[in-house]
Amino acid sequence: MLQCVLVIVAITIAYRIIDLQLIDRHFLQNEGNKRSVRYETVPAHRGVIFDRNGKPLAVSTPVITLWADPSELLQAKTRWAELATALGISEKMLARLISDNRGKDFIYLKRHMTPEKGAKVLALKIPGVNKIEEHRRYYPAGEVTAHLVGFTDVDEKGQEGIELGYNDWLEGVPGKIRFLKDRRGRLAKQAELVKSVEPGKELMLSIDLSIQYMAYRELQKAVDKHKAKAGSLVMIDVQTGEILAMVNQPAYNPNNRAGMAAFRVRNRVVTDVLEPGSTLKPFTVMAALESGRYTKETPINTHPGYMRVGRNLVKDILNYGQLTVTSVLTKSSNIGVTKMAMDVGIDSVLDTFRRVGFGQITGIGFPGESAGYLPFRDRWSDIEVATLSFGYGLTVTPLQLAQAYAVLGAKGVMRPVSLIKRDVPPKGIRVFDEQISTDVLEMLSTVVDNGSGQRAKVPAYRVGGKTGTVRKVGASGYQDDRHVGIFAGVAPIDNPRLATVIVIDEPTEGGYYGGLTAAPVFSRVNANALRMLSVAPQQKEVLTAERENDSSEGDPG
């Protein structure tokens, strides 16, 4: 029996040896690897964001993150003071960090140190202190492009703006390396690559950084001058649909977000909505011209300067008397556009608004974009039709308003708006008749030449646009002491290239009309932008005439 037992044991042992060495050999390999093989992640380089001319807007720079094993640091208490000094923290804070995490194998000591500072700490050779090579996002243009580009978190994950909207495109796939260590943790075999790093893809925006800087500076000056709560500016290339500039005030520094207030982060051009006021009147006029009942010279009687609509009163600033359709825009007559809207019908007016993109997002891929509000009702009262005709009762974003004016500039062709640079301009879709669009553009030029937008004149170019001054809504309705000044326009009129919208929110000094607050910004920004884009100026005699007219004050609008 004893011999049988010994034979069985011997056979069992032999079988197990054969099983482990030949059949199930991965078991011993895995057990050995657990004790000696280590893997380390190789961080992927996040894609660079450029402007349209190849200037960097967001780049990733190499940094060092220091970590430690608390159990090892607890055995080297005599070196804590030295380590705390090198890290730039108090010894008390370091001691609390180690003691609170004594049961863990990993703690961060300090993240995103410069390679030079990290090397100095590692040179101390304190037991348990190790490094991880990472990347940190840096934004060369700082606050000038902050609202547009956005920022990432400490792990380089997009949190706002383009960084968030295109995070999947920009972030790469980390690699992995393998190396062997002995039982004391010493390197026994050099690392070998297990998985290659896949860097993030580059992204080229439509923004022109030179125009962006200039627009930011001019908007900041206007907000400071008028002691305004906020401001926004967006500029679109009419011929391609590309956004050349998008700036807001107040701004923030994405490279130093300590104590950053949340209200500074919002990209107001895309996320905030407002009632467009008189800047919507050109599209009401467009609906009237499309009906065939009106031409540029059709007379409209606005006497005596007010009209009763139901129980409500619609008024103009002055009694303009007999006007043409063109002078209705020039004088910004509420009565004139109300009569046209009530004559052609609310369906025609709403259809015109829909065709230029009101009530729907532009599709630029920016996170948090608002669609605005375009009302739809089965029954409309006369006063609702009236207020809608001159820009109340609906909301739009500054970007939507700029897109609508870009349609006018493109002579009735709607091209999708883009934040990404386009190599080939899209053909677009015709939404308005070319002649009617040209007529409305010519009407807008009279607003700048003789109407409320005279401060929007651009030397050497004929431009057109429309002022808007909107009362803000409070708890008890529209308020008389809170306004938004707006100017929306196209430059130059003869061969449109730029559509620009400026919004000055709650100006408190130097007037609050759009013609006083926003129109001068349009003038300066477009004068510089047209020169930067090498758009040829007009003839000398036209230029001289415009300079003479530039001194006139005009209706503030």
E strand map for 139-208: 175-181, 187-195, 203-204
Q: Which of 206, 232, 278, 327 is labelled catalytic?
A: 278
First to last CA, the chain: 114
Q: Tokens in use for 11?
A: 């056979």
- Cα(246)–Cα(234) distance, integer angstroms: 4
Q: Tokens in use for 177?
A: 């390396």
In the block, residue with structure tokens 């990733």: 60
Helix (H/G/I), strand (E/B), else coil: 21: helix
Helix (H/G/I), strand (E/B), else coil: 57: strand
- Contacts by 419-423, CB closer than 8 A, 24 or more apart: 419/148, 419/162, 419/205, 419/206, 419/207, 419/242, 419/243, 419/246, 419/364, 419/365, 419/366, 420/203, 420/204, 420/205, 420/206, 421/52, 421/204, 421/205, 421/206, 421/242, 422/206, 422/240, 422/241, 422/242
The answer to whether the beta carbons of residues 337 and 280 sit under 8 Å apart is: no
E strand map for 238-375: 243-249, 299-301, 306-309, 312-315, 322-324
Handedness of CA 530, 531, 533, 539 (dihedral sign): positive
For this structure, is 381 an active site residue? no
In the block, residue with structure tokens 């909107």: 470
The answer to whether the beta carbons of residues 340 and 325 sit under 8 Å apart is: yes
Q: Tokens in use for 551?
A: 């001194």
Q: For 203, which DSSP code?
A: E
- Cα(56)–Cα(46) distance, integer angstroms: 13
- What is the pairing mode between strands 187-195 and 175-181? antiparallel
Which alpha helices (DSSP H) does 425-513 contain, by range?
Answer: 434-450
DSSP codes of every residue in 321-336: -EEEHHHHHHHT-HHH
- Cα(240)–Cα(422) distance, integer angstroms: 8
Rg (CA), the chain: 33
- Cα(252)–Cα(256) distance, integer angstroms: 8
- Cα(234)–Cα(245) distance, integer angstroms: 6
Q: Tokens in use for 29?
A: 């390999």
Residues annotated catalytic, as ranges: 278
